[in-house]
Amino acid sequence: MNAEFKLFNISKRYGQREVLNIDNLEIGGGRIYCILGPNGAGKTTLFRIMSLLTLNDTGKIHVLGEEVTWQKNQVVRLRRKMAMVTQTSFMFEGSVYYNVAYGLRVRNTPAAEERKTVNESLELLGMMDFINQPARNLSGGERQKVAIARALAVKPRVLFLDEPTSNIDPASALDIERYIQYINKEMGTTIIMVTHNLFQARRLSEEIFFMWEGKIIEKGESEELFEHAQDKRTRSFIKGEIVF
Amino acid sequence: MDVIWQGIKEGFLLIIAMDPELVQITLLSIQVSVSALLLAAIMGIPLGTVLALKEFPGRKTLLNITYTFMGLPPVLAGLLVFLFLSTSGPLGYFQLMFTPTAMITAQVLLGFPIVCGLTARAVMAQPQEVFDTAATLGATRRQASWVIIRESRMGIIAALTTALGRLIAEVGAVMMVGGNIKGETRVLTTSIVLETRMGNDSSALAIGMVLLLIAFLIMLLILSLEKRTFKDERRIQIV
Ligand SMILES: Nc1ncnc2c1ncn2[C@@H]1O[C@H](COP(=O)(O)OP(=O)(O)O)[C@@H](O)[C@H]1O
Ligand SMILES: [Mg+2]
């Protein structure tokens, strides 16, 4: 496996509380990963550290074969190979077009190519009708779709999706799962996503991580983990005995 | 009551007749205050952004000083500039006292903290998500800062409006360092003071009307600017 991320002894505290503690993690290689776990388990924090949005307190992280030194140019260069749909799908003030074009503009993409890529991305998510709408006026689900289109537009090598279908109706969510699989297969994009939907995790992922109080308590091939979870917290979660 | 009616009548006549002296005074008022606003904006917007976004020792103190100076009394601004520019002051050599330059300088002193402080407030009010979203889409720090300023533009326009309103209406600073010299440094507010002192109450009132008219025109300009910028803005609906 050609892991895009290697984490060694990564930890993060907020005040007195340690919210993340991961001793060893390799992740990447064009697969689809799902991260499961209750609220506050540290999933978003892990995403933020891997996408270089938050500094880890201890440990080392390698991204795409480079040790992260937090030198300004390196951070931007590495960030430009990834994209993230954040949990809130924040939209900039402005049209849907402006939002989807943003990642292309910061890369100085020529105007014609920009337009073409924005159209393609919105087309893929079925959001073409909204192209000139003010993005802030969209509904939660529509915003998530635009956020996904916006992330896809930059053709990332790694795509982080933080609960990307939490506000999306089941039919559209299935569509989105299909796009996720499509870009994973067609472009070889590594997908790392957080979801609270067990069925979605099972349908999509090749590998699953289960997080609990800042730690990865179980990881493994998707089917294997669903059938033979080792940790009893994971087992009861999978059986539906605990509902988050 | 007579004085008021007389003033209003005179005011209309003055405006309609485009009295050359009044036109000159009006244009100078606008020139001084708009120049001061532009200079205050050129320095205040970037500095306010830096105060809001950059972490450095003394940042809090600088912010508090800025907030305090937002309430700087115009006469005090005038006095400070006077001390620097008067013949015995450190910059006395340039003989800038009683010129529009001195008036602009004093008004920059008044406008700058307002633009800077309110810009900092507007930028600090932005959520972390603005930066996060820009960064995950590949923005450099500079590009991300731009988008944060862009998101703050409603607040920044409010800062500029507030500052201009203060500058065009103040009398203390321009009186102190301009001296109300006819044809040279006389502006609308100082004319009002002069006319009132000379007992020409209705003339004073007439000039006051011109001042109000200017305020109205500036507001129209800003409103149309806002309409263009915020045509999509969702307003809070109270039903
Ligand atoms: N900026 C922050 N400041 C303080 N506490 C935080 C911050 N971000 C996250 N936390 C805390 O860290 C824990 C993990 O958060 P998060 O990674 O967002 O969890 P998850 O995404 O798994 O729900 C939570 O208890 C949260 O309250
Ligand atoms: Mg989260």
Show the domains of chain B with their CATH numbers. 55-181 (1.10.3720.10)
Q: Is A144 on the interface with B (CB under 8 A)?
A: no
Beta-carbon contacts of A122 under 8 Å, excluding residues fewer than 6 positions away, are A96, A100, A128, A130, A131, A146, A149
Interface residue A145 vs chain B (CB under 8 A): no
Q: Which residues line ligand 1 (CB under 6 A)?
A: A 14, 19, 37, 39-45
pLDDT tens, per residue, chain B with 239 residues? 787 888 888 888 888 888 889 999 999 999 999 999 999 999 999 999 999 999 999 999 999 999 999 999 999 999 999 999 998 888 888 889 999 999 999 999 999 999 999 999 999 999 999 999 999 999 999 999 999 999 999 899 889 989 999 999 999 999 999 999 999 999 999 999 999 999 988 889 889 999 999 888 888 887 787 777 666 666 677 77
> What is the secondary structure of A11-50 as a DSSP string?
EEEETTEEEEEEEEEEEESS-EEEEE--TTSSHHHHHHHH
Candidate from B139, B150, B232 with C-beta closest to A106: B139
**What is the CA(B83)–ligand 2 centre distance, in A?**
58
Cβ of A92 within 8 Å of Cβ of B147? The answer is yes
Candidate of A18, A43, A45 to mutate for ligand 1, largest count of ligand atoms within 8 Å of Cβ: A45
pTM: 0.89
Distance CA A99, CA A91 (A): 7
Place of tokens 């991305």: A121
ipTM: 0.93
Residues of A in contact with B136 (CB under 8 A): 51, 53, 79, 82-84, 86, 151, 160
The alpha-carbon gap from B228 to the nearest alpha carbon of chain A, in Å, equals 12
The helix or strand, by DSSP H or E, that contains position A217, with its residue range, turns out to be: strand A215-221
pLDDT tens-digit series, residues A50-68: 999 999 999 999 999 999 9
What does DSSP assign to residue A191?
A: E
Both tokens of residue A207?
């590998």
Number of inter-chain CB pairs under 8 A, A vs B: 66
Nearest atom in ligand 1 to the alpha carbon of residue A214 is: 14
For B139: left if phi > 0, alpha if psi spans -120 to 50, otherwise beta; the answer is beta
